Amino acid sequence: MNVAILNTNLAPGGKAATLAEVVAGLLGQGEHEATVYSLAEWDLPACDGITCYKHEKTIALTAELAKADALVLVSPVYNYDLNAAAKNLIELTGYSWKGKAIGLVCTAGAEKSYLSPLGFMNSLATDYRCLVSPRYVYVSRADFNPDNSLPVDGDIHRRLAFLAKELPILAEAAARIAAMER
């Protein structure tokens, strides 16, 4: 299975990058191909509803995501919602997400924004008929070691490992559902 992992943090490195690499490693242990795409390296245009879809970076990333069987979105939470780059990404490449299995990993400063991904999940399920795992992984600053690594024996690592095992099952189900619609 081919999984695209999308780090929507626009600053290089950081906690979101750590989480994306951990998820990629866990998927690799399950013999799945995982590619991490960091939006900090893509310089995508802002969605204007017209010219943005003709931008070479939009076209290239949309083509890459279309090849994936499943996607994992890793996003920081700002002001009780996923960051603006995550929303812009969906606006630019959303049709390549259609009918796919989606995993979601969020990082935030504290636990109080725990429900913030729900609106985003609803949009993916409704607009693009994605099969979104309800077991998203929410990670707060307190879950990281001082060097921004994750404890390998911690609850967050266990939940990320579960997501890496669940996603192929969801991707297979999403493919079956898509075949029924044809």
- Find the CATH number of the domain harbouring 164: 3.40.50.360
Task: Give me the pLDDT at residue 48, please.
Answer: 96
Residue 179, pLDDT > 90, answer no
Residue 145, pLDDT > 80, answer yes
Reported confidence tier of residue 90, pLDDT bands at 50, 70, 90: very high
Task: Give me the pLDDT at residue 124, please.
Answer: 94
* Residues 6+ away with beta carbon under 8 Å from 180: none
- The answer to whether the CB of 48 falls within 8 A of the CB of 78 is no
User: 35 in helix, strand or coil?
Assistant: strand
Please state, in angstroms and rounded to a whole number, the distance separating the CA atoms of residues 73 and 102. 7
- The answer to whether the CB of 30 falls within 8 A of the CB of 104 is no
Task: Give me the pLDDT at residue 12, please.
Answer: 85
Residue 112, pLDDT > 90, answer no
* Helix 118-127 × helix 84-93 angle, to 10°: 0
The number of folded domains in the chain is 1
Rounded mean pLDDT of 138-142?
A: 94
Reported confidence tier of residue 30, pLDDT bands at 50, 70, 90: confident
Percent of the chain with pLDDT over 70: 100
Reported confidence tier of residue 114, pLDDT bands at 50, 70, 90: confident
Residue 97, pLDDT > 80, answer yes
pTM for the whole structure:
0.95
Q: Find, among 48, 53, 70, 27, the residue nearest to 175 by Cα.
A: 70
- Mean pLDDT, the chain, rounded, equals 94
The CA–CA distances, whole Å, from 131 to 112, 117, 134, 157, 167 equal 26, 15, 9, 23, 10
Residue 171 sits in which domain range? 2-181
